[in-house]
Amino acid sequence: MLYVILTALGFVASLFIQTSVIGALGSPLSFLPLHLAIGCVILHRGRMELGMAWLTLTPVASLWIGFIIGTWWSYIIIALFGPVLVLRIFAKRSLLALMGLNWSLYVLFSLLNSAFIAQPYAMLGWGLLLLTISILLINGIQQYTRRLSKRFVLVRHI
């Protein structure tokens, strides 16, 4: 229950950051898909239901918070295609599998939205580079918090 509440708060916070902070940046940095990257990380390493809900509720919440890059049906397609990739192709819980999942879903997302975006090639090129950097940063934060939690939390085996 606590994980679901924290995920919901993270959803709203990352959507606010995506629409207000990242959307206001200049051309190369405005292609950073932070909200999509966090959704794919939850889909791959967290609970698959929460990751699918993250990706499908993004266009609905973006109408309330602010507009984001992409169409509503592109988020639905990657939310349906993501679990298939997680279960069939990127089943390992490694960094390379996470990066492969994110790259393939982002390429699919950018191809679905190439007709609606002014600079589709810049979105694909800069988006993949910034996606890789954000995934490495998210993975580093997860490993640091895992090490920190092992230091301060006593786990007893029964």
Residue 45 confidence (pLDDT) = 83
Residue 31 DSSP one-character state: G
Copy the structure tokens of residue 97.
């599998």
Continuous H helices in the chain: 2-16, 34-45, 48-65, 72-88, 95-112, 120-152
Mean pLDDT to the nearest integer, 46-53: 86
Check pLDDT > 90 for residue 155: no
Check pLDDT > 70 for residue 154: no
Residue 116 confidence (pLDDT) = 76
Looking at every residue in the chain, the average pLDDT score rounds to 85
Residue 157 confidence (pLDDT) = 56
Q: Specify whether the CB–CB gap between 44 and 93 falls below 8 A.
A: yes
Domain boundaries, the chain: 2-152
> What amino acid is encoded at 152 in this protein?
F
Question: pLDDT per residue over 89-116, tens digit each?
Answer: 888 888 899 999 999 999 998 888 887 7
Question: pLDDT per residue over 123-142, tens digit each?
Answer: 888 889 999 999 999 999 98
Residue 105 confidence (pLDDT) = 92
